C-alpha cells in the first residue's frame, strides 16, 4: 500500500511538472518520449494524475468565448494580435498559460480552498516549481480513501481510517474501546482474499494510530479494514484470532 512520498523517486518532480503542464520545449519533448519508453517514469506520471485528479474532477469544462481575447486586448489597450507576453511570462511560460486543466483545477473547491489557491498563485508568479510544490501539498492534505469501521452487532461507528496520497494511513478512534488486561487491539487490512488479511497496527489502548502499510500494495476502493481483540503482543498466527470489534471498507473521499 505504498503510495510513497514523492521524495522516494527521483523522477517524481519531473512527472508532477509534466502532469500539471509546467514543461515546455526540449524538457517537454523529453518527458513525452520517456512516457513511451520508460515504464517507471510512465507509472510516476499516472500516480500524479491520480493524486491531482480530485482538484480537477468536480470542475465543469468551460470553453473560452470567441471574443475573450478581444475584450482582454481592449481592456489593456493592446492589439488582439499580441498574446500578452508580459502576463504569460509572469505566470511561468506559455505552457502554463494555455493549460486549461491547470486553471480548471485552480477554480474548484470550497471558498477556503479557492482562497488558499489564490494565495498560492500570487506568491508563486515568479517560479512554476514553487507553484508545483504548493499544489502537491494541497493535494496531499486531504485523504484519498476513507473507511468508517462499524460494529456489526451494535452498528456503532468505532473508528475512521484515512489513507493519504503520500502513503500515510491513520486510524482515528471515534469512541473509547475497552481493552482487557492481557489483551491488545490489532488492526488488519484485506485487499485480496487469496492473500488474506495483513496486520498493520498494534496498540494496547484506544488512540490515534499511524498504520504501517509501506510493504503492501496501494490502497484501493472497497478494501477491508478491521480491528480485532488479540492476545497481548498480537495474534500468534499472523491472522485474526479474536473477535472483530469494528470493520469497514474504503471509499473515495469526497
Domain shared by 192 and 122, yes or no: no
pLDDT band at residue 171 under the 50/70/90 scheme: very high
Residue at 16 is within a domain: yes
| Three-class HEC string of the chain | CCCCCHHHCCCHHHHHHHHCCCCCHHHHHHHHHHHHHCHHHHHHHHHHHHHCHHHCCCCCCCCCCCCHHHHHHHHHCCCCCCCCHHHHHHCCCHHHHHCHHHHHHHCCCCHHHHHHHHHHHHHCCCCHHHHHHHHHHHHHCCEEEEEEEECCCCCCEEEEEEEECCCCEEEEECCCCCCCCCEEEEEEEECCCCCCCEEEEEECCCCCEEECCCCCCCCCCCCEEEEEEEECCCCCCCCCCCCEEEEEEEEECC
What does the alpha-carbon distance between residue 145 and residue 167 come to, in Å, rounded to a whole number? 11
Domain shared by 235 and 124, yes or no: no
The pLDDT of residue 130: 65
The residue behind cell 510516476 is 44
- Domain count of the fold of the chain: 2
Q: φ, ψ for residue 60 (rounded to 5)?
A: -80, 145
Domain shared by 107 and 89, yes or no: yes
pLDDT single digits (tens) 176-189: 988 999 999 999 99
Domain shared by 218 and 157, yes or no: yes
Q: Which of 140, 159, 175 is the last residue of a domain?
A: 140
Higher pLDDT, 80 or 18: 18
pLDDT band at residue 49 under the 50/70/90 scheme: confident
Bridge partners for 122 per DSSP: none
Domain shared by 185 and 122, yes or no: no
Domain of residue 194: give its range. 143-252
Domain shared by 173 and 135, yes or no: no
Task: Look up the CATH number of the domain holding residue 241.
Answer: 2.60.40
Domain shared by 238 and 127, yes or no: no
The pLDDT of residue 148: 93
Domain shared by 129 and 16, yes or no: yes
**Which range scores top for mean pLDDT: 66-80, 86-100, 186-200?**
186-200
pLDDT single digits (tens) 7-19: 445 577 788 888 7
pLDDT band at residue 142 under the 50/70/90 scheme: confident
Domain shared by 131 and 153, yes or no: no
- Is 234's pLDDT higher than 70? yes
Amino acid at each position: 500500500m505504498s503510495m510513497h512520498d514523492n521524495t522516494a523517486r527521483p523522477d517524481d518532480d519531473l512527472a508532477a511538472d509534466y502532469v500539471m503542464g509546467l514543461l515546455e520545449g526540449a524538457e517537454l519533448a523529453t518527458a513525452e518520449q520517456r512516457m513511451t519508453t520508460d515504464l517507471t517514469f510512465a507509472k510516476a506520471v499516472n500516480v500524479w494524475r491520480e493524486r491531482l485528479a480530485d482538484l480537477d474532477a468536480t470542475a465543469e469544462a468551460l470553453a473560452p468565448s470567441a471574443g475573450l481575447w478581444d475584450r482582454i486586448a481592449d481592456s489593456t489597450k493592446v492589439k488582439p494580435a499580441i498574446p500578452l507576453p508580459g502576463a504569460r511570462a509572469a505566470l511561468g511560460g506559455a505552457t502554463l498559460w494555455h493549460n486549461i486543466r491547470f486553471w480548471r483545477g485552480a477554480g474548484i473547491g470550497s471558498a477556503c480552498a479557492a482562497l488558499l489557491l489564490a494565495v498560492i498563485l500570487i506568491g508563486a508568479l515568479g517560479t512554476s516549481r514553487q507553484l508545483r510544490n504548493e499544489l502537491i501539498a494541497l493535494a496531499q492534505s486531504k485523504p484519498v480513501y476513507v473507511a468508517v469501521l462499524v460494529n456489526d452487532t451494535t452498528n456503532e461507528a468505532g473508528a475512521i481510517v484515512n489513507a493519504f496520497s503520500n502513503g500515510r494511513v491513520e486510524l482515528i478512534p471515534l469512541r473509547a474501546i475497552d481493552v482487557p488486561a492481557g489483551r491488545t487491539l490489532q488492526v488488519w487490512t484485506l485487499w485480496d482474499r487469496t492473500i488474506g488479511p495483513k496486520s498493520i497496527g498494534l496498540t494496547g489502548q484506544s488512540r490515534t494510530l499511524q498504520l504501517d502499510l509501506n510493504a503492501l500494495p496501494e490502497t484501493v476502493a472497497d478494501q477491508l479494514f478491521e480491528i480485532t481483540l488479540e492476545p497481548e503482543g498480537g495474534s500468534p498466527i499472523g491472522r485474526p484470532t479474536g473477535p472483530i470489534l469494528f470493520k469497514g471498507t474504503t471509499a473515495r473521499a469526497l
